[in-house]
């Protein structure tokens, strides 16, 4: 339970920093990385497995960032998923092979991100329709980390500044995997 509280503190500050400044500090991730190793030793878990989980999560994050330019995955998001994968292993709530933890977390986060972004787009359409009663459809869609633009046949119909922190999707993915086992 202390591990879950520690993780909640970590992600709460990440969400706050993402919402307020759209950055997180490297030393913050390093502190919780070190704490996860200490927790692993205290709980007599396999430290080598924990480090392999961190490496696999890091490799997946780097591959997504480099090979999928539409994913908009920042280095801070990769660090959060590495730490989240490590804490999922320490909690031991998932009854799967430990090497699958970072893969499962990445998949869960991407599914939740798609759902949340989809809901944002639907809400923007509803808001625009309520105020102007003029939305007939759209042909192109572009979602950036800082702004959302929806265009229809070359004409901009919605443009707004919007910050959506990936930390929210990551903590939702983490908690859904934890709650799935309880």
Q: What is the pLDDT of residues 125-181, one digit of tens each?
A: 777 777 776 654 443 444 444 445 555 555 444 444 445 567 777 777 777 777 766
Neighbouring CB atoms inside 10 A of 71's CB total: 14
Quick one: DSSP state of residue 142?
E
CA distance 21 to 118: 24
What is the distance between the alpha carbons of residues 107 and 23, in angstroms, rounded to a whole number? 23
Reply yes or no on whether the pLDDT at 6 is more than 80. yes
How much is the average pLDDT of 100-106?
80
Q: How far apart are the first and last CA of the chain?
A: 13
**102, two tokens:** 């970072």
To the nearest whole number, what is the mean pLDDT of the chain?
Answer: 75
Mean pLDDT of 35-58: 91
43 vs 25: CA distance, rounded Å: 28
Spatial distance between the Cα atoms of 33 and 8, rounded to a whole number of angstroms: 14
Give which of 160, 58, 157 is closest to 106, Cα–Cα.
58
Contact 36, 49 (CB under 8 A): no
Cα–Cα dist 73/63, whole Å? 10
pLDDT at residue number 36: 92
> What pLDDT was estimated at residue 66?
80
Distance CA 174, CA 35 (A): 18
φ, ψ for residue 42, nearest 5 deg: -60, -40
Calpha distance 46→97 (Å, rounded): 13
C-alpha span between 6 and 38 (Å, rounded): 12
């Amino acid at each position: 339970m202390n591990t879950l509280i520690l993780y909640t503190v970590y992600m709460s500050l990440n969400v706050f920093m993402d919402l307020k400044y759209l950055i997180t500090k490297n030393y913050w991730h390093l502190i919780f990385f070190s704490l996860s190793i200490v927790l692993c030793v205290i709980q007599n878990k396999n430290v080598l497995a924990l480090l392999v989980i961190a490496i696999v999560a890091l490799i997946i994050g780097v591959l997504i960032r480099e090979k999928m330019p539409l994913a908009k995955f920042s280095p801070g998001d990769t660090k959060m998923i590495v730490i989240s994968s490590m804490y999922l292993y320490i909690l031991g709530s998932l009854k799967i092979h430990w090497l699958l933890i970072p893969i499962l977390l990445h998949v869960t986060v991407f599914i939740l991100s798609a759902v949340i972004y989809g809901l944002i787009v639907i809400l923007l359409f509803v808001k625009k329709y309520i105020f102007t009663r003029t939305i007939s459809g759209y042909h192109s869609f572009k979602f950036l980390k800082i702004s959302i633009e929806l265009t229809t046949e070359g004409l901009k119909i919605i443009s707004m500044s919007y910050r959506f922190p990936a930390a929210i999707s990551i903590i939702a993915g983490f908690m859904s995997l934890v709650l799935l086992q309880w």
